[in-house]
Amino acid sequence: MLAKLMKYEIKGTARIFIPLYLLLLLFALLNRIINPFSLLENSDNFNLQVLFSIISVTVYFILIIGTFVMTLIIMIQRFYKNLLGDEGYLMFTLPVKSWQHIVSKLIISMLWTILSFITAICSILILVNVDNLSEVLSLFISKFTDIFGTAGFFTLPYYALIALISNILMIYGAIALGHTFSKHKLMASFGMYCILYVIYQVVMLLFILLFGKKNITSIVTSAAPSVLQINTLILELSIPLIIILVANFILTNTILRKKLNLE
């Protein structure tokens, strides 16, 4: 059932993201071909070509920002509209558990967030003419391993993933809480997000004060913290995120199960 829910979640979102990604890549390519940056630098007088360059660059930047804004909006809209709006009448009468609704939406939101990043990076690579891509890449990797070690290739993506899940579930939790209000549900959701965010900050701070203090002090004071110290800190800092993540999941699921009140 989870796989089927995800299939329909992809169907419902791909029709927006795929054209957006294609458009972004297309404009990156267009900008690469007409090369407006050098044109803008070298041209003294204003002409049609310059105007066209300005437009093309502007559109590209709007698209790249728009991709991330869209990722966030669709994330919110799919949860709010598909589950708690009129469409919820269908979704919640399917023979499916409420946690499966949350997990299917979560996984597909993560998928699009990651794809948005990958597409944005690809578009930059298309736009900027990197002749020595492999050289730049190996330089980056060697700098990276100097600080984080090989373990960093696991700890950092792990932390990023936990942070992403935690943030998405916080948004879901806020929307679910906002839904329990009888009026101004969207406004209430926004307010609830602020409250959840403050709680998150407090938990993070408490955790650092109680458990992480020693490790952080030693990293800050030492001139060159060891790879082990840094990776330990990353793993430690993921613990409060996991606590927040689990709490928000339970909160959202409980509201959907017990406090559901579709308009």
Partner 1 sequence: MSNILTCRNVTKVFGSKVAVNDVTLDIPRGKIVGLLGPNASGKSTFIKLCNDLLTPTSGEILIDGNRPGIETKKIVSYLPERNYLNDWMKVSDIIGLFRDFYSDFNEEKAYDMLKKLNINPKDKLKTMSKGTKEKVQLILVMSREAQLYMLDEPIGGVDPAARDYILDTILSNYNENATIIISTHLISDIEKILDEVVFIKEGKIVLTKTVDEIREETGKSVDSLFREVFKC
Distance CA 166, CA 67 (A): 21
Please check whether residue 126 is in contact with residue 32, taking contact to mean a CB–CB distance below 8 angstroms: yes
Q: Does 4 bind partner 1 (CB under 8 A)?
A: yes
Least distance to partner 1, CB of residue 216, Å: 45
Query: Which residue lies nearer to partner 1 by CB, 143 or 259?
Result: 259
Q: What is the DSSP string of 122-165?
A: HHHHHHTT-TTHHHHHHHHHHHHHHHHTTTHHHHHHHHHHHHHH
Q: Which stretch binds partner 1 (CB under 8 A): 105-113, 114-122, 148-156, 255-263?
A: 255-263
Considering only residues 2, 6, 12, 56, which one is a binding residue for partner 1 as defined by CB under 8 A? 12
Number of CB atoms found within 10 A of residue 222's CB: 10
Q: Does 6 bind partner 1 (CB under 8 A)?
A: no
Q: Does 86 bind partner 1 (CB under 8 A)?
A: yes
Phi, psi of 183 (to 5 degrees): -130, 160
Distance CA 5, CA 11 (A): 10
List the one residue out of 16, 161, 5 whose CA is nearest residue 75: 16
Least distance to partner 1, CB of residue 262, Å: 6
Q: Which stretch binds partner 1 (CB under 8 A): 33-41, 129-137, 165-173, 252-260?
A: 252-260
Considering only residues 11, 33, 48, 223, which one is a binding residue for partner 1 as defined by CB under 8 A? 11
Considering only residues 129, 134, 183, 258, which one is a binding residue for partner 1 as defined by CB under 8 A? 258
Q: Does 213 bind partner 1 (CB under 8 A)?
A: no
Considering only residues 42, 45, 93, 221, which one is a binding residue for partner 1 as defined by CB under 8 A? 93
Query: Which residue lies nearer to partner 1 by CB, 4 or 213?
Result: 4
Q: Does 10 bind partner 1 (CB under 8 A)?
A: no
CA distances 144 to 141, 150, 215, 219, Å, are: 5, 9, 21, 17
Q: Which stretch binds partner 1 (CB under 8 A): 64-72, 83-91, 158-166, 236-244?
A: 83-91
Query: Which structure tokens are listed for 101?
Result: 């609704």
Least distance to partner 1, CB of residue 259, Å: 7
Q: What is the DSSP string of 160-184?
A: HHHHHHHHHHHHHHHHHHHHTSSS-
- Interaction residues for partner 1, span 146-185 (CB under 8 A): 182
Least distance to partner 1, CB of residue 15, Å: 7
- With 0-12 CB in 10 A as exposed, 13-18 as middle and 19+ as buried, what is 75? buried
Task: Give the interface size with partner 1 as a residue count (CB under 8 A).
Answer: 26
Distance CA 213, CA 195 (A): 25
Residues that bind partner 1 (CB under 8 A): 1, 4, 7-8, 11-12, 15, 82, 86-90, 92-97, 182, 257-262
